[in-house]
Amino acid sequence: MASVIMGMVQEVGHSFIRLGVGSQIRVPSAVWKPELVVGVRVSVTARLLGSEWIADEIVLEEQPHQTYPRVQMDQGTLRSLILAKLIDGRLARDTLPRVWGAAGDGQNCAACDQAVTKNQIMIGEGLRADDPTRRFHIECFSILDQERRRR
């Protein structure tokens, strides 16, 4: 029997999303949407298979580009740039123990080198927002996190 799970995407992995605390849902490639990024509200029709939720359908409740401007770079180029920085060490392969989010402050994204403006969400790696940590567009951080998990 299918259930509808609603919430905000908190984490995006290679083949799963996590909504809130503990609601990890496996997303088959036929159901996957490129708009699945951290911060998007979704309704997921899923079924419980053993102890794992499997998505049958995902409906986006708000599009990320309607609320927050997207990075001005196509996804393939952005992913290639992030991979190159992971390989040559400009981006750490391991995540820090904490990430935080805030409105952009004009600093450049460590992944795409474009400014994270005040009308965009900024994700930082570190203990506090006032730490001199790396900052990312939410979209860039999502791709970085996916690539780190693949390695």
Whether 59 and 72 map to the same domain: the answer is: no
The CA-based dihedral angle spanning residues 67, 128, 36, 76, taken in that order and rounded to the nearest 10 degrees:
100
Whether 57 and 72 map to the same domain: the answer is: no
Query: pLDDT (tens digit, 9 = 90+) per residue, 53-63?
Result: 999 999 987 55
Q: Lowest-pLDDT range, 69-73, 75-79, 89-93? A: 69-73
37-49 in b/e form (b: 16+ CB < 10 A) is bbbbebebebeee
Domain with 49, as residue range(s), is 2-64
Whether 82 and 134 map to the same domain: the answer is: yes
Q: In terms of pLDDT, which residue wins out, 103 or 65?
A: 103
Q: Lowest-pLDDT range, 77-86, 107-116, 119-128, 133-142? A: 119-128
Whether 73 and 47 map to the same domain: the answer is: no
Query: pLDDT (tens digit, 9 = 90+) per residue, 28-60?
Result: 988 988 778 777 788 899 999 988 899 999 998
Query: In the chain, how many domains are there?
Result: 2
Whether 39 and 15 map to the same domain: the answer is: yes
pLDDT of residue 128: 54
Whether 146 and 72 map to the same domain: the answer is: yes
